[in-house]
Structures are given as C-alpha cells and as structure tokens.
C-alpha cells in the first residue's frame, strides 16, 4: 500500500476544513435557533415623537415558546431591562428603579406590559434615542432582546408660564411651582401640553397632553384662589374642554362644554377666587335636556362675577416669588 505523500495529506486536510467549519456553523445556528425559539420579545412605542418629560411609554410583549410554563423573576439582575442610547450613541444609565414583580407566562401564551421608560432612564434632553427591551430567561441564563426602536424627544412652543406658591396645608407649602403651557405640532395636529415643575430646582412633576386644540381660538388660562390652573380649549367645532390642574400636576376635574345660541364658553373669575365657565352649555346639561337645555348665558352672571372682558395672563407674564 503506497504511503501518502505530504502534499496529498495537505490536500486532504484542506478539503476537510470547510466540512468542519460548516458542521460547527450548523451546530451553532441550530443551538442559537433553538434558544431563540424559547422566547420571543417585541417592543413597540406608543408613538415615535414625544414632548420632553412626558411619559415615554412602550409596550413590551413576551411570547413563551418553551413548551412549558415559565416564571420570569429578578435574581440578582432584573428580568426586564432596557438599552437606551442618545443621539451621540452614548449609553444612558438608569436613573430610577428597574425592578419588576415576577410574572408567570403559560406555555404558548403572550404577556404584554406597558412601561414608562423615562421613569427609569433619563431622556429629558431633546434628540433621537434608540431603545430596546431585554428579558432575562434564568433557565437558559441568557437575555432575549427586542429589535431597537427610534424615539424622538422634542419640545413645544411656549405659550405662557406662571409661578405660584404651594398653598398652606398642602405638601410642599412655602415652595413655588411653575405652570407652563406648550403648543406642539405633530405634523398632523396641534396639541396643547401642560408642564408643572418646581421653580427652584426645575424638577418636573408632570408633563402631559390635553389633546388637540383648534387654532381659530387660542386657549384661555387663568389661576384660581387655590393656585390651581384652569384651561379652556376649543378641541373640536363648537366643543370646548375645561381642565383644572393642581400644583402637583394632577388633573382635578375636566368637563366638556358646547357653544349655544351664539354664546361661546369663557372662563370667568368670581369675587371669591373661584373660576366658572359661562356662555355655553355643559355636556351634562345637554344630555339631560337635549331638546331644551337651560343655557347659562354670560349676561346671566350671578352677582360678583367679573365683566365680559376676561383677563388672562399674557405669555410674558410670570409671577415672582416674594
């Protein structure tokens, strides 16, 4: 039997190497595919464009394909976390709690959770952010990650701001809060936003949308005797929303009013520090008596109400703490 030459051995080895590479690659792909098949993670932001400091909410959906019930729990590491990078590609470090309660997902079922990302990761600066969700699967000791989503943080055009004191008897009394109204154009609609923050530190208590407003009539705003913010906006033809917001950035009340017999709703201060809506009909009254509603006309003001001219602060006015 002839002895193989060195050249023949080298040729056989060279021919064998691609087979080994293909076998290893196939094994790796098989293992990766099998592990990926255990769980599927997707993340979808509620929208792509947010105003600075409003909740950046995403929906994370986890599908269990392990063939058995699984429990996701934090064991030294959170079972749900996020990767957030800013416009410069820098990783944003968590600034709040990233702990989540354990959950059980039955075999073949999907679990969805709506998460406020910027309650954990600071995203107050304007710019483009890339966000993805990661779910830790302890049985495999590995993370399953969603595809990244692009989120843009912008800010609106300031319409008005006012600094007020926190009334006595309320938490934070003696400090000052700043109300700011913003107009934000999404490209398809014009939205009215409110921001409430500490006037000294700048800490934001709340930023949220009050919905669409029609530009043919600018919103009205004023402050009542409890330093609550009242806003009246035209949100649809002949339809207005009256919103009351307190110094903590919470909506105290919201009611809908309609124009009636040529009278448009207006904010009217009383002599006792209250703010009322006159000149229209409330949604409740319209529903109770749709054929003949009792309309509260501006000319029917109770004694003590201000005259027809409603004084609302201009965008340049701002109270200064004394």
Cβ(162)–Cβ(195) under 8 Å?
no
Residue spans of the domains in the chain: they are 40-153, 156-300
Task: Look up residue 245 and give its DSSP letter.
Answer: E
Which of 255, 256, 254 shows the shortest CA–CA distance to 239? 256
Render pLDDT for 174-216 as a digit per residue (tens, 0 to 9). Answer: 999 999 999 999 988 999 999 999 999 999 999 999 999 998 8
Cβ(231)–Cβ(210) under 8 Å?
yes
Structure tokens at 201: 């530190």
Q: Which helix (H) or strand (E) holds 41?
A: strand 39-45
Pairing label, strands 190-198, 80-85: unpaired
Residue with tokens 């989120």: 151
Q: Which residues in the chain show pLDDT less than 50?
A: 8-11, 13-35, 293-322
Other Cβ atoms less than 10 A from the Cβ of 101: the count is 8
Cα separation, 98 vs 72, whole angstroms: 14
Task: Look up residue 64 and give its DSSP letter.
Answer: E
Render pLDDT for 160-179 as a digit per residue (tens, 0 to 9). Answer: 999 999 999 999 999 999 99
Q: Which helix (H) or strand (E) holds 168?
A: none
Q: Which helix (H) or strand (E) holds 33?
A: helix 6-36
Cα separation, 195 vs 220, whole angstroms: 16
Note the CATH architecture for domain 40-153: Sandwich (2.60)
pLDDT at 9: 45
Overall size of the chain counted in residues: 322
Residue with tokens 């990233």: 98
User: Which pTM does this prediction carry?
Assistant: 0.75
Cα separation, 107 vs 289, whole angstroms: 54
């Amino acid at each position: 039997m002839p002895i193989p030459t060195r050249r023949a051995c080298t040729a056989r080895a060279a021919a064998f190497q691609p087979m080994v590479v293909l076998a290893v690659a196939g094994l790796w792909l098989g293992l990766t595919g099998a592990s990926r098949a255990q769980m599927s993670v997707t993340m979808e932001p509620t929208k792509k464009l947010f105003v600075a400091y409003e909740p950046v909410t995403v929906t994370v959906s986890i599908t269990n394909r392990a063939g058995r019930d699984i429990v996701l729990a934090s064991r030294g590491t959170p079972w749900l976390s996020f990767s957030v990078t800013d416009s410069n590609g820098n990783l944003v470090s968590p600034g709040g709690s990233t702990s989540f309660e354990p959950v059980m997902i039955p075999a073949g079922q999907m679990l969805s959770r709506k998460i406020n990302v910027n309650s954990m990761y600071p995203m107050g600066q304007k710019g483009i952010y890339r966000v993805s969700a990661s779910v830790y699967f302890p049985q495999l000791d590995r993370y399953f990650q969603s595809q990244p989503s692009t989120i843009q943080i912008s800010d609106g055009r300031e319409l008005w701001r006012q600094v007020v004191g926190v009334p006595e008897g309320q938490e934070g009394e003696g400090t000052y809060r700043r109300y700011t109204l913003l107009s934000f154009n999404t490209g398809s609609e014009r939205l009215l936003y409110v921001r409430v923050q500490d006037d000294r530190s700048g800490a934001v208590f709340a930023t949220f949308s009050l919905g669409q407003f029609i530009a043919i009539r600018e919103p009205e705003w004023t402050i009542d005797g409890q330093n609550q913010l009242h806003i009246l906006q035209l949100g649809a033809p002949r339809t207005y929303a009256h919103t009351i917001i307190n110094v903590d950035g919470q909506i105290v009340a919201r009611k809908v009013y309609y124009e009636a017999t040529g009278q448009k709703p207006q904010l009217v201060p009383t002599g006792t520090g209250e703010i009322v809506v006159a000149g229209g009909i409330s949604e409740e009254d319209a529903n109770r008596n749709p054929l003949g509603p009792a309309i509260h006309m501006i000319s029917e003001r109770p004694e003590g109400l201000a005259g027809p001219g409603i004084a609302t602060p201009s965008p340049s006015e701002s109270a200064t703490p004394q």
